């Protein structure tokens, strides 16, 4: 049963525990001499690699949008991204892809990347039995492949609900887990100004979490439209997360026609 305490839901607390566990393990590893390990331990990506693609100073930000596709909000968002020649990664819900395959196709044709965001977006995802977690991942994968002909290579757990089991099963499916470093918190429908201000906190290497489904996203679209030129004016460029990048290395791809700010 979900419980709430001081505005925090049990889902949020569970997610925070897992994120803290990950950050503590990274801190411990940084202070401990490297030892040989029996195998690579999968972990979510919270930030783009500190090593930028060759020949660039690394001024990339990854815009990500969760919970779509949505027939009301995804098309106008795609139009905003097109007008500003910005690319993004959409973590899509399998059921929504089944309902609106043509929108998933439009995302791909526009040059954006698709990621797996489970089949039904269940709450307390990490608390599900392993077979349910595996099904949620695989069924979403199948839905995207049927709709677009492309297999996602990225995975984001609902609400950042990571656990060792979730990470292991995503890894077994050949998917790179992706988290975020900036959450604009548009999931609780704040004013557009709040979302805009949160996006403007972006720095090189940030992965920004927004949503194009799961509720009224008019404020998100308004904020994105204002934030894109403001971020580019600060010398930032936008990248899609195109494929798995082990050891937190990024395969960065600029959207077709994106004016380069990296030579300035």
Tell me if 5 is assigned to some domain: no
Q: Out of 11, 66, 179, 206, which one is annotated catalytic?
A: 66
Predicted local distance difference test score (pLDDT) of residue 238: 94
Predicted local distance difference test score (pLDDT) of residue 52: 52
Predicted local distance difference test score (pLDDT) of residue 242: 66
Q: Is the pLDDT of residue 120 over 50?
A: yes
Chain mean position to CA 137: 15
85: confidence class by pLDDT, cuts 50, 70, 90: very high
Compare 186 and 246 and report the one with higher pLDDT: 186
Tell me if 18 is assigned to some domain: no
Predicted local distance difference test score (pLDDT) of residue 157: 98
211: annotated active-site residue: yes
251: annotated active-site residue: no
40: confidence class by pLDDT, cuts 50, 70, 90: low
Residue-wise DSSP of 146-206: HHHS----EE--GGG---HHHHHHHHHTT-EEB--SEE--GGG---HHHHHHHHTT--TTB
Torsion region of 50: left, alpha or beta (phi above 0 gives left; psi -120 to 50 gives alpha): alpha
Predicted local distance difference test score (pLDDT) of residue 125: 96
Q: Is the pLDDT of residue 248 over 90?
A: no
pTM here is 0.79
Tell me if 8 is assigned to some domain: no
Tell me if 20 is assigned to some domain: no
Tell me if 64 is assigned to some domain: yes
Tell me if 33 is assigned to some domain: no
Predicted local distance difference test score (pLDDT) of residue 11: 44
Q: Is the pLDDT of residue 257 over 60?
A: no
224: confidence class by pLDDT, cuts 50, 70, 90: very high
Number of CB atoms found within 10 A of residue 124's CB: 15
Tell me if 230 is assigned to some domain: yes
In which domain, by residue range, is 148 found?
A: 43-253
H or E element: which one contains 9? strand 8-9
Compare 12 and 19 and report the one with higher pLDDT: 19
Number of domains in the chain: 1
Mean pLDDT across the chain: 82
Residue range 24-31: average pLDDT? 49
CATH for 224: 3.20.20.370
Share of the chain above pLDDT 70, in %: 72
Q: Out of 112, 117, 121, 211, which one is annotated catalytic?
A: 211
Predicted local distance difference test score (pLDDT) of residue 4: 32
Torsion region of 189: left, alpha or beta (phi above 0 gives left; psi -120 to 50 gives alpha): left
Contacts 24+ apart (CB under 8 A), 52-59: 52/250, 52/252, 53/250, 53/252, 56/252, 56/262, 57/262, 58/204, 58/205, 59/204, 59/235, 59/236, 59/237, 59/261, 59/262
Tell me if 124 is assigned to some domain: yes
pLDDT tens across 168-213, in order? 999 999 999 999 999 999 999 999 999 999 999 999 999 999 999 9
């Amino acid at each position: 049963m979900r419980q709430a305490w001081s505005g925090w839901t049990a889902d949020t607390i569970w997610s925070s525990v897992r994120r803290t566990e990950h950050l503590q393990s990274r801190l411990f590893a940084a202070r401990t001499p490297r030892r040989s390990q029996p195998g690579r331990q999968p972990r979510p990506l919270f930030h783009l690699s500190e090593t930028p693609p060759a020949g660039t100073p690394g001024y990339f930000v990854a815009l990500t949008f969760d919970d779509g596709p949505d027939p009301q909000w995804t098309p106008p968002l795609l139009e905003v991204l097109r007008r500003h020649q910005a690319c993004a990664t959409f973590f899509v819900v399998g059921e929504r892809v089944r309902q609106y395959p043509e929108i998933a196709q439009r995302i791909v044709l526009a040059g954006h990347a698709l990621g797996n965001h489970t089949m039904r977006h269940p709450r307390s995802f990490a608390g599900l039995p392993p077979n349910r977690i595996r099904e949620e991942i695989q069924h979403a994968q199948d839905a995207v492949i049927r709709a677009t002909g492309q297999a996602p290579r990225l995975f984001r757990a609902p609400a950042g609900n990571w656990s060792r089991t979730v990470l292991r099963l995503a890894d077994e499916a050949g998917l790179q887990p992706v988290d975020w470093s900036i959450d604009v918190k548009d999931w609780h429908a704040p004013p557009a100004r709040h979302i805009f201000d949160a996006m403007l906190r972006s720095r090189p290497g940030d992965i920004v979490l927004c949503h194009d489904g799961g509720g009224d996203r008019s404020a998100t679209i308004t904020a994105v439209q204002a934030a894109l030129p403001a971020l580019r004016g600060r010398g930032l460029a936008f990248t899609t997360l195109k494929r798995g990048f082990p050891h937190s290395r990024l395969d960065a791809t600029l959207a077709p026609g994106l004016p380069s700010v990296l030579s300035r």
